[in-house]
Amino acid sequence: MKAFKFGSRTLDLSRPAVMGILNATPDSFSDGGQLYSNGSIDLSKTLQAIETMLADGADIIDIGGESTRPGAKPVSVDQELARVIPIVEAVTSRFDTIISVDTSTAQVINQAAAAGASLINDVRALQREGALQAAVDSGLPVCLMHMQNQPDSMQANPHYQDVVAEVVDFLRQRKQTCLAAGIGPEQLLLDPGFGFGKTLEHNLTLFNGLGQLAAEGHPVLVGVSRKSMIGQLLNSQVDNRLIGSVTMALLAAQRVTEARGSLILRVHDVNETVQALDVWQQSSNKEFGK
């Protein structure tokens, strides 16, 4: 068993794990603030959504209060705290699960850790002021993600000589900075950041390079769920990307597993993704193999 420690909890990563997305933002592109009613989040609806994801087989719940979609309104620290911390507290007291906080903000890292979060998922790879120290102080594992440029401009003109090499190089550098600051190598997850400053071609090249990323020796986190790369492949709007998303999740699982790596899939559609993984696992029983 390949175990990964999230504080007091351990997750078996000898098979792909599933992270369910909980958007605590009123302006999410994929689920459009469904949990909001007249300007504030409905906590009971939110807990219901989490309960469903856990019943469907999610191993981790990723809670985020900042929209990184291009053109999204910047959120103040107080606003982000007000969105995220009450949910972390409610989930901690109500469910036995691994809570991930999708944040780049030092204060959110500090307070979420105190409220029971077990993973820091930072699309800015701890580059914001104070974030690295907050992560060190929390003692929590961290997912380092690659992004070229900033959310408001990242899709304007993405450019790489060698996208796989540059993404791996960036993540290696952030890893070194984390190690030097006192985060253990066994506490790091790596993520190529699909859609973050990448064209469709960049995303697909990276997807085919997942084995190389897995070879860095850290579990890989992959987030392709409902993203525009799937919309581009299928010419489909965001409400019609379920099959494409699940297919891509399964292909990622196969790639990373072939490379003997570990994988966490960040998804909106937990039930369908878990079913696909279950069918794959059960049908690859070695007794019946070639």
- Over 10-48, what HEC string results? EEECCCCEEEEEEECCCCCCCCCCCCEECCEECHHHHHH
CA atoms within 13 A on the CB side of 85: 16
CB nearer to ligand 8Y4: pick between 150 and 281: 150
Dihedral in degrees, nearest 10, Cα atoms 172, 177, 178, 179: 90
Give least dist CB 227 to ligand 8Y4, A. Answer: 5
- Answer positive or negative: Cα dihedral of 27, 29, 35, 36: positive
Which of these is catalytic: 174, 226, 241, 266? 266
Give least dist CB 245 to ligand 8Y4, A. Answer: 9
In what helix (H) or strand (E) does residue 92 lie, and over which residues does it extend? helix 77-94
- Answer positive or negative: Cα dihedral of 33, 191, 222, 20: negative
CB nearer to ligand 8Y4: pick between 36 and 194: 194
Residue nearest to ligand 8Y4 (CB): 223
| Residue 83 annotated in active site | no
CB nearer to ligand 8Y4: pick between 143 and 274: 143
CB nearer to ligand 8Y4: pick between 89 and 191: 191
CB nearer to ligand 8Y4: pick between 194 and 207: 194
CB nearer to ligand 8Y4: pick between 21 and 41: 21
Q: Kindly give, in sequence order, each residue whose CB lies less than 8 Å from that of residue 233, ignoring residues fewer than 6 positions away.
A: 200, 244
Q: How far apart are CA 19 and CA 242, in angstroms?
A: 16
Which of these is catalytic: 175, 227, 241, 255? 227
Give least dist CB 284 to ligand 8Y4, A. Answer: 26
Give least dist CB 237 to ligand 8Y4, A. Answer: 10
Give least dist CB 63 to ligand 8Y4, A. Answer: 10
Q: How far apart are CA 21 and CA 48, in angstroms?
A: 13
Between the alpha carbon of residue 276 and those of residues 102, 129, 165, 244, the distances in Å are 25, 40, 30, 12
- What is the β-pairing status of strands 40-41 and 36-37? antiparallel
| Residue 266 annotated in active site | yes
User: Residue 287: exposed, middle, or buried by beta-carbon count in 10 A (0-12, 13-18, 19+)?
Assistant: exposed
Give least dist CB 280 to ligand 8Y4, A. Answer: 21
Site for ligand 8Y4, rule CB under 6 A: 29-30, 64, 68, 102, 121, 123, 143, 145, 191, 193-194, 221, 223, 226-228, 238, 266
Catalytic residues: 227, 266
